[in-house]
Structure 1
């Protein structure tokens, strides 16, 4: 197999990405979701509680890794949990979140065919693209 397919390629300077798994429900508590999956979340919020927005690196990978790498790490986290996810899906929304940002406002990612496991898990993929901040734009114009 060619090295470029097995060796992670570096994320270009000025670009970042993140990945996380979001499970929400109006009827099942965060503790019940954690117990069903056997996974302790990095963050959990109960309905009516204070939720702090942000994009922590929940996939366990750094922001210098490509979105498809975050997706693959999260899929590995869910291995052997297909039945539990199926039961939760009746009362929960399950989403694989991928975020991508770039100082110059341009970029993207490829979700390769070998990530078909997302479809087999019945998980929606949400791709959030982040615009550069005014500071980013002014620094690239100089």
Structure 2
């Protein structure tokens, strides 16, 4: 391979993220905040513009309430799960009531420059997630293709 075609691969960098998402067609994001007594990191109301700077953009079909773990993206996924459980653990009864009209999801993200990595989510931690009535979503992000030339 010619020298001008060689590309250095970046060092192995992994990142992780964790968010609790509540979505609803009938319960507003502000009502979710009031009922849980928690201010989310992000919230969007049903009918609001997907892109507020573009008045022609689509409108949201659901209200969305999003609470992040608050941890750095170099933590293990288990750390994000534990932090999120801790943030909403006192809201079990209200989460159960909201589940009648909301989708409740614990969303985890994982990415790595070389595509390698993973984690074990212990059974007792998954039991805690289930006890809160949260579905678990795992988003995996593949490495970027090397750029040549």
TM-score by length of 2: 0.76
User: Contact 1:28/1:92 (CA < 8 Å) preserved in 2?
Assistant: yes
Q: 1:75 aligns with which of 85, 91, 97?
A: 85
**CA deviation digits over 1:70-95, x for unaligned, max 9?**
01100001111111001100000000
Larger mean Cα displacement after TM superposition, 33-42 or 103-112: 103-112
State the Cα distance separating 1:114 from its structure 2 match. Answer: 2.5
Q: Which has the higher helix share?
A: 1
Shift of 1:104: 0.4
Give the count of matched residue pairs. Answer: 123
Quickly say closer, same or farther: Cα 1:57–1:122, change in 2 above 3 A: closer
Question: Do structure 1's residue 107 and structure 2's residue 106 form an aligned pair?
Answer: no
**Residue aligning to 1:41:** 40
Corresponding residue for residue 4 of structure 1: none
TM-score, scaled to structure 1: 0.80
RMSD over aligned CA atoms reads: 2.0
1:49 deviates by 1.6
Which residue is equivalent to 1:131?
A: 142
Asked if the contact 2:40/2:67 (under 8 Å) is kept, the reply is: no
Q: As a proportion of its length, which structure holds more strand? A: 2
5+ residue gaps, structure 2, are 1-10, 52-65
Deviation of 1:109 after TM superposition, in Å, equals: 1.5
Structure 1 runs not aligned, ≥5 long: 1-11
The CA deviation at 1:50 is: 3.1
Alignment of 1:1-142 (within 5 A): 13-51=12-50, 58-115=68-125, 116-134=127-145, 137-138=146-147
Q: In the TM superposition, what is the alpha-carbon distance from 1:121 to its structure 2 partner?
A: 1.1
Structure 1 residue matching 2:131: 3-state secondary structure: helix
Report the equivalent of 1:7. Answer: none
